[in-house]
Amino acid sequence: MNPINIPEAFTLPLRLSLISCLVNGEKTFTEIKNITKATDGNISVQLSKLQKWGYVESRKRLIDGKKQTVYSITQFGLSKLEEYVALLESIVRSSSKE
């Protein structure tokens, strides 16, 4: 990954927060909202974009007779996040050598 070609998924702090909070396992919308402290509308819009790009997936489940949407990071999303973190680490390493 080149610093000039950073995927759009990592260009907004909220998108990065959404992806990061799913690394440790699936989360409900409410759990994501509690973690990110973002508004429902912002979370919905950004989750939709991340799903469209293949970083996040969702599924419906029934809890106590109520439908609940659960979100998780995809293998593609995890791989891209790892590449992004490696890029940041290389930037930090190279700047500390200067």
Tokens describing residue 38: 């973002």
The reply to whether 43 falls in a domain is yes
What pTM, to 2 d.p., does this model score?
A: 0.86
- Domain of residue 27, residue span: 10-92
The domain that contains 72 carries what CATH number? Answer: 1.10.10.10
Position 2 scores a pLDDT of 67
Determine which helix (DSSP H) or strand (DSSP E) holds 9, and give its type and residue range: none
The reply to whether 5 falls in a domain is no
Position 93 scores a pLDDT of 87
Per residue in 25-69, pLDDT (tens digit) is 999 999 999 999 999 999 999 999 999 999 999 999 888 888 999
The reply to whether 1 falls in a domain is no
Q: How many domains does the chain have?
A: 1
Q: Would you call 71 exposed, middle or buried from its count of C-beta atoms within 10 A (0-12, 13-18, 19+)?
A: buried
Is residue 56 within 8 Å of residue 50, measured between CB atoms?
A: yes
The reply to whether 32 falls in a domain is yes
Which spans in the chain are helix H?
13-21, 29-36, 40-52, 75-97
Give the residue carrying structure tokens 């999303």. Answer: 77
| Average of per-residue pLDDT across 86-97 | 84
The reply to whether 3 falls in a domain is no
- Cα angle 83-5-55, degrees, rounded to a multiple of 5: 50
The reply to whether 97 falls in a domain is no
Q: What is the mean pLDDT of the chain?
A: 92
